[in-house]
Structure 1
Amino acid sequence: METKIFKRDELDEAAELLRQGELVAFPTETVYGLGAIATRDDSVKKVYAAKGRPSDNPLIVTVADAEMMRPYAKEVPERAEKLIKHFWPGPLTILLFAKEGALPSSVTGGLKTVAFRCPDDQLTHDLIKKLGYPIVGPSANTSTKPSPTSAEHVYHDLKGKIAGIVDGGQTSFGLESTIVDLSVEPAVVLRPGKVTPEEISQVLGEKVLINRGKVADKDVPKAPGMKYRHYAPSAQVYVVDHSEKFLKLALDQKSGVMATSDILAKLTIPEENKFSLGDSLLEADHNLFAGLRYFDDMKNINAIYVEAFNDGEESWAYMNRLNKAAGGKHI
């Protein structure tokens, strides 16, 4: 299969491919998603096949606005309306009870709930509106690999497996959306992202819990990223908890380092073995997946050392992804 790259003026062709049951990747402010019409079971199953994704890992439904979501939700409670008004379009995914029979079980994982997201990306809004249907939107990468933050990343992983990629350039944030579960009380953040539990709590006027548990092998996760291995390059990743420890590492030409610029400047390893996370947590959020992909393409690298951040809730999303990539291995 040829994988075509679509520009802004070619959205009609991209929408037609989706209408025909094909897969088309699309940009968001977080990472690129892999699109298929959410109501078509045959198309959705192609997503699992292209990604190599476990079939019990439910998918997020991506909409152009809140009105497009309503026919597929059993109800939209006042709590959801508050979050939609405050955070949509944006990097917040809302888990609600699904309307019975409105979506195939390949989307919901057989659960009674479904997650909805309205990304802050005009290209994708235009694509969905031209299509006239919501689309599923898992990250457009090979399952377990770092999520894609550019069209080039998608092409690297899925060339020949999907029909097209809408090129929206580099994503602006770089880590997947926050997922909040409103099917329970109090609300629970299932996956951290740019929108913090504190921000959600302030809008709702109620305490919001944080899920830190692991889903059992026999159970279906409520949302993506809760059960299976994620974000990992081929080489072993290690989390370096304190910056001074970088200077004590026995680094060699098979070592890759991802850290802030001031740390990299102190290391006497080849420049190609360094990847700058920038100079702040915000820049590190944006650069984390790109760095993991950079070293994944370097066949001589067998260990990747990555700087940790300890900035409270603000760094929770970054550390969540990094810990998953490292399999919990810290130095």
Structure 2
Amino acid sequence: MPKKFIMQEEINKCIEILSKGGLILYPTDTVWGIGCDATNEEAVAKIYALKKRENTKTMICLVANDFMLEKHVSAVPEVAYDIIDLATKPTTIVYDNPKGVAKNLVAEDNTLAIRVASDKFCQYLISNFKKPIVSTSANIAGETTPQTFQEISIAILKGVDYVVNLHQDQNSGTPSSIIKLGNDGVVKIIRE
């Protein structure tokens, strides 16, 4: 079967699950991630429960492109576009005043970590789904982030509604850099 057809089939299965408020385990431009519809509060709550994570610990949201980013952030600072264009590895930016996402994704200080996906599968999935998707590492809170699909625990594998059948034989990348961009122009590196 041609690769393109297999990818489209996987995207269709993911969209079916995401549309019903389900959880997917999927390869991202960094590490394997647990994902859900970032606009669905109940779905986001399922991820917190699966990861045994306090819902005060925020998660990353993936968008397909700048247009989708602008739709979910009140004001994207100009410097954000330079950071996205010049970054040599996947870079997540924490923005002030997110909008149109689940309330339990937004931090107490009214910020949200968002990354424009650089991976083709993620870009196509999010573009086809037409909504941002949560991306959080595929581990229980406090445990080591899996570097390969094989390192993902049984609890996580059994806790999601669908496991994407792509790139399972490849090593994951490393977690993204995280930069906080305040609307006041202050740039703070949270994770290199």
Interval of TM-score (by shorter of Structure 1 and Structure 2): 0.7 to 0.9
Structure 2 distance, partners of 1:61, 1:29, is: 13
Q: SS at 1:48's partner residue?
A: helix
Q: For residues 172 and 51 of structure 1, do their structure 2 counterparts lie closer, same or farther at Cα, with a shift above 3 Å needed? A: closer
- Code of the residue aligned with 1:176 in structure 2: it is P
Structure 2 distance, partners of 1:131, 1:71, is: 15
Q: SS at 1:137's partner residue?
A: strand
TM-score (normalised: structure 1)? 0.52
Deviation at residue 84 of structure 1 after TM alignment:
2.1
Deviation at residue 25 of structure 1 after TM alignment:
1.5
Identify the residue that residue 56 of structure 2 maps to in structure 1. 56
Preserved contact between residue 77 and residue 185 of structure 2 (Cα < 8 Å): no
Structure 2 distance, partners of 1:162, 1:185, is: 39
RMSD over aligned Cα, in angstroms?
1.9
Q: SS at 1:160's partner residue?
A: helix
Q: Is 1:19–2:25 an aligned residue pair?
A: no
- Report percent identity of matched pairs: 28
Higher relative contact order (CA 8 A, sep 6+): 2
**1:114 aligned residue (95, 112, 115):** 112
Identify the residue that residue 150 of structure 2 maps to in structure 1. 152
Mapping for residues 123-138 of structure 1, pairs under 5 Å: 123-138=121-136
**Structure 1 outlier segments of 4+, above 4 Å:** none
Mapping for residues 1-331 of structure 1, pairs under 5 Å: 8=7, 9-87=9-87, 90-100=89-99, 102-154=100-152, 156-166=154-164, 167-169=166-168, 170-173=170-173, 175-183=174-182, 185-192=185-192
Preserved contact between residue 128 and residue 134 of structure 1 (Cα < 8 Å): yes
**Unaligned segments of structure 1, at least 5 residues:** 1-6, 193-331
Q: For residues 76 and 15 of structure 1, do their structure 2 counterparts lie closer, same or farther at Cα, with a shift above 3 Å needed? A: same
Between Structure 1 and Structure 2, whose CA radius of gyration is higher? 1
**Unaligned segments of structure 2, at least 5 residues:** 1-5
Preserved contact between residue 66 and residue 84 of structure 1 (Cα < 8 Å): no
Q: For residues 152 and 130 of structure 1, do their structure 2 counterparts lie closer, same or farther at Cα, with a shift above 3 Å needed? A: farther
TM-score (normalised: structure 2)? 0.86
Q: For residues 172 and 24 of structure 1, do their structure 2 counterparts lie closer, same or farther at Cα, with a shift above 3 Å needed? A: closer
Deviation at residue 141 of structure 1 after TM alignment:
1.3
Return 42-51 or 75-84, whichever deviates more. Answer: 75-84
- Code of the residue aligned with 1:39 in structure 2: it is T
Structure 2 distance, partners of 1:28, 1:180, is: 19
Q: For residues 154 and 67 of structure 1, do their structure 2 counterparts lie closer, same or farther at Cα, with a shift above 3 Å needed? A: farther
Deviation at residue 172 of structure 1 after TM alignment:
4.9
Structure 2 distance, partners of 1:60, 1:113, is: 11
Preserved contact between residue 28 and residue 171 of structure 1 (Cα < 8 Å): no
- Code of the residue aligned with 2:151 in structure 1: it is H
- Code of the residue aligned with 2:139 in structure 1: it is N
- Code of the residue aligned with 2:128 in structure 1: it is K
Preserved contact between residue 31 and residue 148 of structure 1 (Cα < 8 Å): yes
Q: SS at 1:67's partner residue?
A: helix
Q: How many residues align?
A: 183
Q: SS at 1:12's partner residue?
A: helix
Deviation per CA, 1:254-313, whole angstroms, max 9, x where unpaired?
Answer: xxxxxxxxxxxxxxxxxxxxxxxxxxxxxxxxxxxxxxxxxxxxxxxxxxxxxxxxxxxx
Q: For residues 29 and 171 of structure 1, do their structure 2 counterparts lie closer, same or farther at Cα, with a shift above 3 Å needed? A: farther
Deviation at residue 155 of structure 1 after TM alignment:
5.4
Preserved contact between residue 61 and residue 115 of structure 1 (Cα < 8 Å): yes
Q: SS at 2:114's partner residue?
A: strand
